[in-house]
Amino acid sequence: MPSILFLHENYPAQFGILADYLSRKGWKVVYATQKEEIEQGKPIRTPAGVRVLRYTKSRDVTEGIHTYLRGTEGALLNGQGFARLGYALKSDGFEPDLIVAHSGWGSGSFAKVVWPDAKFVQYLEWWYRFPPVDIPRAESALGSQEDKAARVLVRNLPFLLDFQQADLVVAPTEFQADQFPDFIRPRTLVQHDGVDFDMFHPPQSDETPFRFQGLPDDAPLVVFATRGMEPARGFPTFMAAASKIQAKRPDVHILVAGGPKSHYGPAPKGFDTWKDKALSEHSFDRSRLHFTGLLPKPDYAKLLRRSSVQVYLTRPFVLSWSCIEALATGAPMVVSDVAPVREALPTDDVARFVPMENADRVVEELEWCLDHPEEARAMGLRAREQGKARYDQKNSLKTLEEQFLAVLGS
């Protein structure tokens, strides 16, 4: 069976489950990452047999370097850092047939310098355009347009460095692939990572329900669950809507799962987090407002099944796993009416669609779901049935293995 090397800044991230799957199928699998929990020089092995190692960069970005180039130099330092580890792996006899690298961080940019005969798969999540599709016009208009355009063009340099050696480019969704330049598309496979439809299943009567301190078992529950709390994922709009729905419906509880960090964009001026800002701007009954932090996946899946309504808001950007995970549980959903969400929820009868920034419309659709629980649940189950073929992890893993073997000519 072939040997494969995965490269990603984080672990397990997009490649962890795929790496375990291939290892169980007999592939020899190595995963290199910068995750700090992996001690440098002390690789670990997953239960599936994947060898996970840490690499580091030799220094930080040069102080005073041209501001446009900070990200590019950071990516080059990451690539250089992995290359040093790569030569150590090579001296120990590891020769990957295939290298799969998450593009943009630079981790895999010099992997084919170490192993020139290996095939290379570029996992490309985003291509930066100007004007940006993922930033509202009012925000993108701030400052010099020429300066902003130049910054955006330079952000694509690490992608181009990877693309020049790529045998295959993988994009998770058609919307993301549509952002790519025409010269990249012919080499692009659109294939979502998939989610575990067995773990993220609809409610079952014999299951222990999700419980959280202060949350009654029978309370109507509106859930916002995503990795961070930021404008790109609609958090300020959601919190404005949450305040309004609490005022209108004294039985409704609000639960936010995830961390307060902003992963896309800066913190708000005058506040440490967007959570702090929202709590200062709106009135809440704190006894009916719950923040769980990041949850283990089994608990998170139970939460989605427990929810009366799941709210997923996003700008036109990379589609979150949380959207597909909610879809898989058959949870009733109120979602942004934007292209990446419409790709996952393509018909009007599988979710309630709202403008991204309109809190009043979010409230209106939340009330519809709360007033029509049986219709809302049927809507969510239709979404699951529509999405299963495309997003079930079993299908995704099989397709990716087939495509990798095709790249290898096997």
Q: Are 194 and 391 in contact (CB under 8 A)?
A: yes
What is the rounded average pLDDT of the residues 166-171?
A: 98
Q: Determine, yes or no, domain membership for 203.
A: no
Residues 166 and 244 reside in one and the same domain: no
Q: Three-class SS of residue 192?
A: coil
Residues 337 and 401 reside in one and the same domain: no
Q: Are 21 and 397 in contact (CB under 8 A)?
A: yes
Residues 350 and 397 reside in one and the same domain: no
Residues 186 and 238 reside in one and the same domain: no
Percent of the chain with pLDDT over 70: 98
Q: Which domain holds residue 285?
A: 221-391
Q: Determine, yes or no, domain membership for 207.
A: no
* pLDDT of the residue at 67: 92
Q: Determine, yes or no, domain membership for 208.
A: no
Q: Determine, yes or no, domain membership for 231.
A: yes
Q: Are 400 and 191 in contact (CB under 8 A)?
A: yes
Tell how strand 51-54 and strand 44-45 pair up: antiparallel
What is the rounded average pLDDT of the residues 184-212?
A: 94
* pLDDT of the residue at 142: 53
Whether the per-residue pLDDT at 138 is higher than 70: the answer is no
* Residue 332 tokens, joined: 């009733």
* Residue 396 tokens, joined: 């995704």
Residues 15 and 157 reside in one and the same domain: yes
Q: Which one-letter amino acid corresponds to residue 89?
A: L
pLDDT in tens, 249-304: 999 999 999 999 898 888 999 999 999 999 999 999 999 999 999 999 999 999 99
Residues 129 and 21 reside in one and the same domain: yes
Residues 234 and 122 reside in one and the same domain: no
Residues 155 and 237 reside in one and the same domain: no
Q: How far apart are CA 320 and CA 314, in angstroms?
A: 9
Return the minimum-mean-pLDDT range out of 137-141, 170-174, 226-230, 350-354: 137-141
Residues 122 and 267 reside in one and the same domain: no
Closest CA to 51 of 33, 67, 72: 33
* pLDDT of the residue at 100: 98
Number of domains in the chain: 2
Residue/partner pairs of 263-271 with CB below 8 Å, 24 or more apart: 263/227, 263/228, 263/230, 263/232, 264/228, 264/230, 264/232, 264/233, 264/317, 265/230, 265/231, 265/232
pLDDT in tens, 369-389: 999 999 999 999 999 999 999
Residues 276 and 179 reside in one and the same domain: no
* pLDDT of the residue at 27: 98
Q: Determine, yes or no, domain membership for 22.
A: yes
Q: How far apart are CA 181 and CA 202, in angstroms?
A: 39
90 - beta bridge partners? none
Q: What is the number of other CB atoms lying within 10 angstroms of the CB of residue 4? A: 27
Q: Are 234 and 333 in contact (CB under 8 A)?
A: no
Q: Determine, yes or no, domain membership for 204.
A: no
Torsion of CA 341, 175, 102, 191, to 10 degrees: 80
Q: Determine, yes or no, domain membership for 215.
A: no
Residues 129 and 183 reside in one and the same domain: yes
Q: Determine, yes or no, domain membership for 213.
A: no
Rg of the chain over all Cα atoms, to the nearest angstrom: 22
Tell how strand 333-336 and strand 3-7 pair up: unpaired
Residues 25 and 108 reside in one and the same domain: yes
CATH code, domain with 98: 3.40.50.2000
